Structure 1
Amino acid sequence: MKAIIVDDEELARSRLSILLSEIKDVTLCGSFGAAAEAMQYIEENPVDVVFLDISMPEMDGMEFANLLLERQSSARVVFVTGYEEYAVEAFAVEAVDYLLKPISRERLAKTMQRFAKKQQFQAQRLYVFCFGGFRVSVQADGDETINWRSPKVEELFALLVCKGSVSRDEIIDTLWEDFPLGKAMKNLNSTVYYIRRALQQYGLEDCMVTTRRQISLDRKKFTCDLYEFERLQKSAWNTEQELEQLNELYRGELFQGKTYEWSFGKAQTLEKNMISNLLQAAEQREVQKRPEEAERLYMRALEINPFHETACGKLLDFYIRTGRKEKAKQLRKEMDQILSEEAPPLLLAFRKRV
């Protein structure tokens, strides 16, 4: 493991150098009193971990860490400082750990164990499920669901999943609209910290990328049913396999059961696209003389949205065309009841009779 130290205090650099020399598998490649020199070294040489002071002239540790993120450096940061108040902000820039001076051998050893543990978790992957609710799980020995510290922590992660990359200002306007700016910023930083902590125990904190202006998720580092659905939805009605995949992905509306107002518009659009695919596929099956499959697809569209008049009309026309007058009569009766009384549909029973 290749490490460097960045600290403007020579005595602090010297002590940390001695401590690191006692740790097996750690090679100290450089010790820098100026941040600019350290950044140039990182750009030209492989570095695994940077032991970084926060209070430094010209460029402080937070600026240095943000610059590493912006340049997508693989070097990870361990903050070494005499101040406790930067801890939450430190994890917001993806720090591996936060060490208070003077550093003890025992505490440094724990940090290096944490870093080694993270390296062991590299093969794990995050799985995000957005349809029919919201669930995030990890592929490990079993399918382990991540438990978030609070509903707001979960909602911020859901927002990042949905939008990919979001400015800090937009997040505050969305989740803490009525809060004073200072309090909203504090809430944002602490919420980001708790997301990172939840992911860190599995070595997956690299999924989230933070800069001064925005927060985003690296889509290459996790699997999400929403992304796969969006990839398939444009033409899935035209192929059997893709339509089946789309149908399996759509286990319910987007974030079903959650009160995420910012997601309602997208949920409606996705439902509309899903029903459109089903109706186009059903019409295609009719042309192909496959009435049983066509009926199943029409019914699936109504299962998703029993109030969808176009889907109801198409199924009604289908029954009339195929000479099934009793089916058409029953469907018309049920839809009249739904539209006039807004009563729960009897479609489940009706499906059994079809």
Structure 2
Amino acid sequence: MRVMIVDDEKLALQQFMLETEDMPDVETVGAFTNPFKALGFIKEQPVEAAFLDIEMPGMNGIELTEKLREIRPDLVVIFITGYENYTLDALKVKADYYLTKPYDRKDIAEVLERARLLSARQRKRVYVHTFGRFDVFIDGKAVHFPNAKAKELLALCVDHRGGMVTIEEAADKLWEDRAYDSRVKNLYRKAVMQIRQLLAEYGAEELFSGSRGACQIDVRKVDCDYYELLEGNVEAQRVWRASGRYLQEYSWAEETSARLEIAEGKW
């Protein structure tokens, strides 16, 4: 787990670094006495959990939490403080845990284990990558599609962000060089069936629903770089700028790609 700590006392930072330096699966990627520098850091670096002092000059931990959550809504926040009268404020900003000074290695280990479990629950099983080429990951493993058209149909559903993809639209975009007849309809139905079967193998069949006339995905079941970009996620914006390509293997995706290029100037 990648964690950061923000505390205006250098000794507190040193203690935290000392206590966590040999903890398995814990990487302290940032330690700051200045809350504003911590904000700049998290815009560029992935962080899963943040340990924050509450009483700090310039910006206290409550205010910092609100700004951090704007950048990374799924960030696990743990307050560390010598004052217990901030509990209500901590609840208002939906802090996940509260660690009272003085603390020791055991206290940190226990709260990190709870934070790790919470972070895992917040992440969805399915992640869809659209910047560059289209890929689907379930439980961190890339999904292999034996049929290219089934994969493309799922990509089209992702592009629709939960909206229906009709059989007519699918035929127009996936089989544009063929007449819209019973054979094309059968190809569509075959692709729908293959998507269902493949997702069922991973226990993720609830992601996709399809009928004889239309299909769609349940966006509540998936994390996606494209969706994160539309939500204003700073990390997604950085990745998009570096890539500048959206579903590059599919010509029908050029329209969405053009909209993203126009929107880029507003970020």
Relative CO higher for 1 or 2, CA cutoff 8 Å, sep ≥ 6? 2
Larger radius of gyration: 1
**TM-score for both structures, normalised by structure 1:** 0.34
**TM-score for both structures, normalised by structure 2:** 0.44
More helix by share: 1
